[in-house]
């Protein structure tokens, strides 16, 4: 009887947890829906008042939000990640007009390659916020380069995110891969790449003070290599 009661209690508890999870999932779908509607309303007001720059940044924020909440556990096409980076850069440029030259490859580059969501975004954000924002150089540049290559009869995608900003010492680079600094996003990217593809596809950072920083990611084409 005691064992039966315990089993019944466990089943009931599991059903309650499942219902709570379903409710949270449904609520999570509703909350962004109302946020998007509110942003659309503000966007419309901005357009009617000829505030095109405000309407543009609202549209970019809405796109970033949609990207962040959809397909959370799935690999996504590289072009989607690049498009999301474009939205982030659009917002950044509105605040720093004429300050930094930014270059992102076209959407045609390696469209069929699947990568982890937000595998590149933290690298771009780190380059902007830590490499370029505090740099005294007049000609500030951030470049994202995507190239399909072949090595040992296997195709892979090489991605470079380069800036000509402040750069950093080796100790600072090492700290980016620890939880002791605000660079936890870099560690997160590196850990996910390593788990998905193996140690040959980890994030690497090459940096030198006053010369800039290059983040390098290699993604195998057509699946994981563990």
Report how far residue 120's alpha carbon sits from residue 104's, in angstroms, rounded to the nearest whole number.
12
pLDDT tens, per residue, the chain with 226 residues: 888 888 888 888 888 877 777 666 555 554 555 566 666 667 777 778 787 777 777 777 777 777 776 655 578 888 888 888 887 887 777 666 556 666 666 555 566 688 888 888 888 888 887 777 777 777 788 888 888 887 667 788 889 999 888 888 888 887 777 655 555 578 888 888 888 888 878 888 998 888 889 999 988 876 554 4
Collapsed DSSP state (helix, strand, coil) of residue 6: helix
Say if residues 216 and 157 touch (Cβ distance below 8 Å).
no
DSSP 109-127: TTTT-EEETTSSHHHHHHI
Quick check: 177 and 186 in contact, CB under 8 A? yes
Structural tokens at position 36:
């998007």
Place of tokens 């780190």: 126
Which tokens in the block code for residue 88? Answer: 């982030």
Comparing CA positions, the residue from 215, 185, 190, 213 lying closest to residue 200 is 190
């Amino acid at each position: 009887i005691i064992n039966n009661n315990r089993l019944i209690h466990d089943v009931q508890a599991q059903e309650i947890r499942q219902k709570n999870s379903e409710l949270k999932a449904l609520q999570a779908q509703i909350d962004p829906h109302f946020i998007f509607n509110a942003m659309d309303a503000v966007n419309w007001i901005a357009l009617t008042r000829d505030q095109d720059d405000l309407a543009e940044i609202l549209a970019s924020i809405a796109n970033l939000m949609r990207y962040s909440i959809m397909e959370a556990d799935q690999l996504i096409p590289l072009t989607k990640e690049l498009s999301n980076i474009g939205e982030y850069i659009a917002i950044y440029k509105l605040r720093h007009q004429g300050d930094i030259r930014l270059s992102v490859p076209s959407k045609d580059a390696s469209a069929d390659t699947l990568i982890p969501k937000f595998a590149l975004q933290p690298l771009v954000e780190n380059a902007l916020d830590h490499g370029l924002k505090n740099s005294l150089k007049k000609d500030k540049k951030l470049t994202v380069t995507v190239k399909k290559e072949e090595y040992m009869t296997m195709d892979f995608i090489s991605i470079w995110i380069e800036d000509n900003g402040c750069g950093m010492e080796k100790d600072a680079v090492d700290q980016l891969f620890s939880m002791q600094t605000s660079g936890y996003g870099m560690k997160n990217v590196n850990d996910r790449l390593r788990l998905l593809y193996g140690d040959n596809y980890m994030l690497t950072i090459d940096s030198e003070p006053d010369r800039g920083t290059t983040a390098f990611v290699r993604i195998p084409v057509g699946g994981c290599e563990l």
